[in-house]
Chain A
Amino acid sequence: MSERFVSRGFVGKRRVAAAGGRLPPGQRVVDDFPVLSAGPTPRTRLEKWSFSLEGEVEEPVRWSWEEFQGLPAQEFTVDIHCVTKWTKLDTRWRGVSVDTLLEHVKLSSNAGFVTAYCDGGYTTNLPLPDLLNGQGFVAYEYDGRPLGPEHGGPARLVVPRLYFWKSAKWVRGLRLMEKDKRGFWESAGYHRRGDPWKEERYAGD
């Protein structure tokens, strides 16, 4: 747009300053924790729950809930950014990093992408590097309490560096992939990668 557009009479509420550079473009800070879902909320009993790593790995691995609780976990506090334009600052989680999980498999040299798959059939695709070096977790506690089903419990992916639809709720496993394959929202017009700082909301952004 050549001419700079200004909305007549618009000043704004400007909670941006309070976020001190932590707010990606087009986002606003919220204090609540909105719940958005494309389908019914699965309620998987812990004794039926498992988590798997499969695909481009030498030997797939699968943990029961109890085994998963035995993996080294860590607490982390991150800002989360939803593509619907809300950002929640300083969310506190506990879970197992993807780095820790990957110590239990030998990755094929072809592995470059991941499809996270979930109870309820949801999938999302991520570049593997976006999950590594402390950037991706499978979290089962939020704010000091077990993660409720409405927020993706018993366990969800948390990848704060990407829009939050990538942080798949009710996650049950990661499939290591040679090629990127669009997941649920990525097949419905949303961006393949979804970096909030580049405002990669929709396909083509």
Chain B
Amino acid sequence: MLNRPLQWQIATVEAIQAETARTKTFTLSLPAWVPHLPGQHYDLRLTAEDGYQAQRSYSIASEPEREGKIDLTVESLPGGEVSGYLHDVLVPGDRVEVRGPIGGYFVWEASRGGPLLLVAGGSGVVPLMSMLRHRGAVGSSVQVRLLYSSRTPQDVIYADELRSLHEGGDGLEVLHTFTRSQPPGWIG
């Protein structure tokens, strides 16, 4: 439980990776990193020259076993004040203010056991990805089924990684649904 104030810290952007046409993953290096619970989020704050600020919350995509760094996967929203800046302005080496990890309800650790049924739509898969990566990092064999809805196959975030997790044969199953366009021969 959190009892001390969560301090803002200045993180450095280590890497930026495009996941889909509308989503990017930002790898941030944190001077005061602490392990998170898979499912938690960070608050991110931008400050303009004149002191104007904007804050948003973003789910952590990475597993807590990776020390010192977090991945935030962010969807660029039309006219998005913060997501637009992150997508269009931010480059590796830039710095952003963050504080976290935050949230103690939508979380899962392998020690809590399973089985798990995870259901996500669009970028809602991000906190669940932290759970899947954590499961892999600790070698958990908890049965997991992820039902993941995307607009089109091109909008699937972490598509390659999810495919290899699905094909890993260790009790992790990924089921996709597509709401706008489906691949040829799709019967799902």
Interface code A11-42, partner B: CB below 8 Å = 1, 0 otherwise? 11110100000000110100000000010000
**Interface pair B10/A1, CB less than 8 Å apart:** yes
**Interface pair B55/A26, CB less than 8 Å apart:** yes
**Interface pair A6/B3, CB less than 8 Å apart:** no
Q: A188-B103, A189-B1, A204-B6 are in contact. Are A13 and B46 (CB under 8 A)?
A: no
**Interface pair B10/A10, CB less than 8 Å apart:** no
CB distance from B79 to the nearest CB of A (A): 7
Query: Smallest CB-CB separation from B8: which chain A residue?
Result: A1
**Interface pair B1/A12, CB less than 8 Å apart:** no
Interface code A170-205, partner B: CB below 8 Å = 1, 0 otherwise? 000000000000001101110000000000011111
> Does any Cβ of B come within 8 Å of A109's Cβ?
no
Query: Smallest CB-CB separation from B49: which chain A residue?
Result: A6
> Does any Cβ of A come within 8 Å of B47's Cβ?
yes
Among residues 54 to 92 in chain B, which have CB atoms less than 8 Å away from a CB atom of chain A? Answer: 54-57, 79, 81, 85, 89
Q: A26-B55, A85-B57, A185-B105 are in contact. Are A202 and B47 (CB under 8 A)?
A: no
Q: How far is the CA of A188 from the CA of B10 in the complex (A)?
A: 25
From A16, A184, A204, give the contact of B2 (CB < 8 A).
A204
**Interface pair B10/A5, CB less than 8 Å apart:** yes
Q: How far is the CA of A9 from the CA of B89 in the complex (A)?
A: 7
**Interface pair A10/B85, CB less than 8 Å apart:** yes
Q: How far is the CA of A16 from the CA of B81 in the complex (A)?
A: 12
**Interface pair A84/B81, CB less than 8 Å apart:** no
Query: Quick one: which of B47, B52, B54, B103 has the most chain A CB within 10 A?
Result: B54
> Does any Cβ of B come within 8 Å of A7's Cβ?
yes
**Interface pair A84/B85, CB less than 8 Å apart:** no
CB distance from A18 to the nearest CB of B (A): 13
**Interface pair B55/A85, CB less than 8 Å apart:** yes
**Interface pair A203/B2, CB less than 8 Å apart:** yes
Query: Smallest CB-CB separation from A38: which chain B residue?
Result: B105
Q: A12-B81, A13-B81 are in contact. Are A5 and B47 (CB under 8 A)?
A: yes
**Interface pair B47/A189, CB less than 8 Å apart:** no
**Interface pair B102/A189, CB less than 8 Å apart:** yes
**Interface pair B1/A203, CB less than 8 Å apart:** yes
**Interface pair A16/B102, CB less than 8 Å apart:** no
Q: How far is the CA of A154 from the CA of B119 in the complex (A)?
A: 28
Q: How far is the CA of A201 from the CA of B48 in the complex (A)?
A: 22
Query: Quick one: which of A7, A11, A203, A204 has the most chain B CB within 10 A?
Result: A7
Q: A7-B96, A8-B94 are in contact. Are A204 and B3 (CB under 8 A)?
A: yes
CB distance from A138 to the nearest CB of B (A): 25
**Interface pair B55/A16, CB less than 8 Å apart:** no
Q: How far is the CA of A16 from the CA of B4 in the complex (A)?
A: 30
**Interface pair A6/B94, CB less than 8 Å apart:** no
Sorted nearest first, the 8 A-B pairs with minimum C-beta distance are A188-B104, A204-B5, A7-B46, A13-B81, A203-B2, A188-B105, A26-B55, A189-B104
Other than the given A189-B102, A201-B43, 16 more pairs (CB < 8 A) read A1-B8, A6-B49, A7-B48, A8-B89, A12-B53, A13-B79, A85-B55, A85-B56, A184-B105, A187-B1, A189-B2, A189-B103, A202-B102, A203-B3, A204-B4, A204-B5
* 7 intermolecular pairs with C-beta atoms under 8 Å apart: A1-B8, A5-B47, A5-B97, A11-B48, A12-B54, A204-B6, A205-B6
